[in-house]
């Protein structure tokens, strides 16, 4: 598909998703201009990327191949370090020498007022689980690395993420479906 100079369609898995906001962060950080095209999920976005109808996609998993015969490949990864499943693909920071880091993370939250002994036991059980070789291996096969944080570190991380993404949403006007 022919494009005018500087014109590009960037796909995401939908409005308000981490793939959308990752793109918005990259765009605003680098003062770029493109057309955001929200899809209803990752699969149709990747299909249009492979078919040339989307010029790029910010993708939350390591599902894009990079071997021979692939029509598209991962250009970079957004974390602080290279992924073990894509060791030849540089981080955005390495590739472009810019300060850009996006982690697609999961956490476990409990209702306010949950007794501290239950919170501590849950935290200990989760920490043991994500450190087990079976879980590390299964997550690694999906391009995911488990992280370990204390409860205080996680609370601080969540606060920082709320500030980061909240500020981006306010600055860009990004909306969710």
123 within a domain of the structure (yes/no): no
CATH number, position 59:
3.40.190.10
For the stretch 68-114, pLDDT in tens is 444 556 788 888 888 777 788 898 889 888 888 898 888 999 999 99
- What pLDDT sits at residue 1? 44
DSSP 41-73: SHHHHHHHHHTTSSSEE--SSS-S--STT-SS-
- What pLDDT sits at residue 66? 40
76 within a domain of the structure (yes/no): yes
19: containing domain = 9-102
122 within a domain of the structure (yes/no): no
151 within a domain of the structure (yes/no): no
85 within a domain of the structure (yes/no): yes
- What pLDDT sits at residue 97? 87
Please list the ranges in the chain whose pLDDT falls under 50: 1-2, 4, 62-70
Using DSSP, state whether 26 is helix, strand or coil.
helix
Tally of domains within the chain: 1
Contact between 54 and 43 (Cβ < 8 Å): no
- What pLDDT sits at residue 6? 58
- What pLDDT sits at residue 162? 95
- What pLDDT sits at residue 123? 93
Tokens of 132: 């087990």
Residue 114: CB atoms within 10 A of its CB come to 11
Spatial distance between the Cα atoms of 171 and 96, rounded to a whole number of angstroms: 23
Nearest Cα neighbor of 151 from 175, 173, 118 is 118
32 within a domain of the structure (yes/no): yes
107 within a domain of the structure (yes/no): no
| Buried/exposed code over 132-170 (b: 16+ C-beta within 10 A; e: otherwise) | eeeeeeeeeeebbebeeeeeeebeeeeeeeeeebeebee
134 within a domain of the structure (yes/no): no
Handedness of CA 3, 92, 72, 16 (dihedral sign): negative
Handedness of CA 152, 18, 93, 141 (dihedral sign): positive
């Amino acid at each position: 598909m022919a494009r005018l100079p500087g014109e590009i369609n960037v796909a995401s898995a939908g409005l308000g998703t981490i793939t959308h906001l990752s793109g918005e962060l990259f765009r605003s950080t680098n003062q770029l201009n493109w057309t955001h095209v929200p899809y209803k999920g990752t699969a149709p976005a990747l299909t249009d990327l492979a078919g040339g109808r989307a010029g790029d996609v910010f993708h939350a998993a390591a599902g894009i191949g990079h071997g021979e015969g692939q029509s598209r490949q991962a250009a970079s990864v957004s974390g602080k370090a290279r992924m073990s499943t894509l060791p030849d693909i540089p981080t955005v920071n390495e590739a472009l020498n810019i300060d850009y880091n996006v982690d697609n993370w999961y956490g476990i939250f409990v209702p306010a007022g949950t007794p501290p002994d239950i919170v501590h036991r849950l935290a200990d059980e989760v920490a043991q689980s994500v450190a087990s070789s079976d879980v590390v291996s299964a997550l690694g096969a999906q391009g995911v690395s488990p992280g370990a944080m204390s409860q205080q570190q996680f609370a601080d991380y969540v606060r920082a993420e709320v500030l980061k993404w909240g500020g981006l949403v306010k600055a860009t006007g990004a909306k969710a479906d």
